Amino acid sequence: MKNKKYQKQTIPYLLLIMVMVGVLLFYNLSQYKVNEFTYDQFIIELSKESVKNIEITPKNSAGVYSISGQLKEYPEYESFKVNVPMSESVLEKILTYVDESEIEVITKTNPETNGFLMIFLNIVPYIILIGGTIWLFSKISGGNKNNMDFGRSKAKLSEDGGKVKFADVAGLIEEKQEVSELIDFLKNPKKFQKLGARIPKGVLLVGPPGTGKTLLAKAVAGEANVPFYYISGSDFVELFVGVGASRVRDMFKQAKQSAPCLIFIDEIDAVGRQRGTGLGGGHDEREQTLNQLLTEMDGFGANEGIIIIAATNRPDVLDPALLRPGRFDRQVTVSLPDQIERKAILGVHARDKIFDKSVNLENLSKRTPGFSGADLENLLNEAALLAVRRNKDAISMSEIDEATDRVLMGPAKESRKITEKEKKLIAIHESGHAVIGLKLKEANEVHKITIIPRGMAGGYTMMLPKEEKIAIMTKSELEASITGLLAGRVAEDLFIGEITTGASDDFRRATKIARSMVTEYGMSDLGPVQFEHKSEGVFLGRDYNKSQNFSDTVALEIDQEVRKIVDNSYKEATKILKDNKKLVTLLTDTLIEKETLTREEIVELVETGKLTSASNPENLKAQAKKLGIKGYTKMSEAELIKAIEDSKS
């Protein structure tokens, strides 16, 4: 198959080369000038001794000698040609002049004596010309689907449905049950028709990016023994007007001919956006394509065996007519995985990787809330790349920890020089965040503190929920989140007596939470009233405008309530940090020395007031860096410990 594909790709280039060579030959041949002489003119030129060379070719069928040559006055590209009677007297006369003038003579045999050569020269060129013309016209008329074929559907047909199966899709138990019903209908439709059940015409997979919508559709293709068409929403819209609608018609025509079958449309929001929104301008071609899609989905019956599966992460921008029953009857939400599903996803992506005995995927799944399936796959891949970079035989927790930080914040900027003053500022700031997580009951747990710069941050404190929740948070938990965010600024003010710009992002996040508590969640003295809700413009972008149903007086009260929540949280953070000055100082001093603290080390500091374990890979690296040990980033933990001991001794 690869050889055939390669031949198809190279044939046009060979034809182009042949055409170019032909043009060059024609151009060169057109430069040559051939003068037709009579016998008398030729004899006169011979007598004048002006002939430079001649070439004699006998032609028996015509009874003449064909003589060509050049005169001495001719340039290289000019020559003459003459036919003389085929007789011995004429030939002797010509040769006499030739001997006297010492003219260069070339004698050729009669080409007519070679029958095969005559056939080749006279017939084969015509065969090549006619064959090439037929081949080119066949390609233009339909042999090549990419030429002159704009209205044809770009949906690709996978007869075997692909190689992905449900076993390759970890988690998504309920979602797989929903789509399994479709496969069961395609295999055994009588079971549903017996009870008068109408199978959904279309199923819309909705969810954040990276949660496995396309993978789930591929698994449906792998499990179904029916033709499976797959296409992207952007493949419908083309430069030419009407092409999108034509492709929709052609796609459904093909599907009806091969029913029962499945059609998968990825990123359907590219073609299914709301019509007539006004702002941002219209797009007639896309709207025509959407209209044709709506018409075609109404054009086939409930049990004809054509089922459409579409995927999008923006269901809010889809046209309502597309989502009504009879078109996309069912929406399947593919949400972010929970801890159990993350463990299963990590198990799938860990099949072809070699891990150290210390690696525990269950613990890793607990440390990665909010990660999508794509994020988890990227995390393990980054860990594998780091292990290769460090010349290790297996992936250890050191690489996984580093990979987690790289996915969340970006690579560590270990080469960046930080002054002692700046390091102390960052350490105090991060210690303030951490103490709130340690001492405030409703706050998240502190799992890691680091002052190594990553991305745009000088350092960060990793805080994770004590228990993983679906989507509900209490008022006290939201207030604790605000308190934790403000604690960095409070620590700067209390322990340095000077504030920095490092808390700007903390303020943004804290203000957003506080305003949502007042205007959306009804968690203020203004009562259970929703004053604002997101109204995302289809063409204006996300969060460009919000619906505000209140007067200027209420707006002032909202601002006052937001400020009250933030001020109370600031006071709470100040009280907690004042009561735990020793812990803030202890964390700060340890961070300046070690640069990174893990959950176990933080607990040890809180309980004992000192740190005895120094085997943390991040701490070992920090010590090696401080001691100036070369190549420490590629050393194993045992090598780092030995190098540090040798350096100190």
Residues with a known catalytic role: 430
DSSP states along 583-596: HHHHHHHHHHHHSE
Residue with tokens 């680091």: 450
Q: Where does residue 224 fall: left (phi above 0), alpha (psi -120 to 50 degrees), or beta otherwise?
A: beta
**Which residues neighbour 590 within 8 Å (Cβ) at sequence distance 6 or greater?**
597, 601, 605, 611
Q: CA 178, CA 330: separation in Å to the nearest integer?
A: 9
Of 486, 471, 481, nearest to 440 by C-alpha is 481
| CA-CA-CA-CA torsion sign (107, 109, 112, 114) | negative
Q: CA 179, CA 303: separation in Å to the nearest integer?
A: 16
CA torsion angle 467 469 473 477 (round to 10): 10
Q: Strand order in 445-450's β-sheet?
A: 460-464, 445-450, 596-598
Residues for the chain: how many in total?
Answer: 649
CA torsion angle 26 31 32 38 (round to 10): 110
Q: Is the peptide bond before 260 cis (omega within 30 degrees of 0)?
A: yes
Q: Are 498 and 492 in contact (CB under 8 A)?
A: yes
Q: CA 290, CA 237: separation in Å to the nearest integer?
A: 10
Q: Are 222 and 158 in contact (CB under 8 A)?
A: no
Q: CA 26, CA 40: separation in Å to the nearest integer?
A: 32
Of 289, 348, 352, nearest to 319 by C-alpha is 289
Tokens coding 387: 């292990």
Q: What angle do CA 43, 49, 53 make, to 5 degrees?
A: 85
DSSP states along 559-586: HHHHHHHHHHHHHHHHHHHHHTHHHHHH
Cα maximum dimension of the chain: 133
> How big is the chain by its Cα radius of gyration, in Å?
41
Q: Classify 89 as helix, strand or coil.
A: helix
Of 273, 235, 52, nearest to 152 by C-alpha is 235
DSSP state of 33: E
Q: Are 618 and 453 in contact (CB under 8 A)?
A: no
Q: Are 82 and 37 in contact (CB under 8 A)?
A: yes
Q: What angle do CA 183, 185, 188 make, to 5 degrees?
A: 110
Q: CA 199, CA 631: separation in Å to the nearest integer?
A: 63
DSSP H/E element including 333: strand 330-333
Q: Which amino acid is at 53?
A: N
DSSP state of 444: P
3-state secondary structure 155-220: CEEECCCCCCCHHHCCCCHHHHHHHHHHHHHHHCHHHHHCCCCCCCCEEEEECCCCCCHHHHHHHH
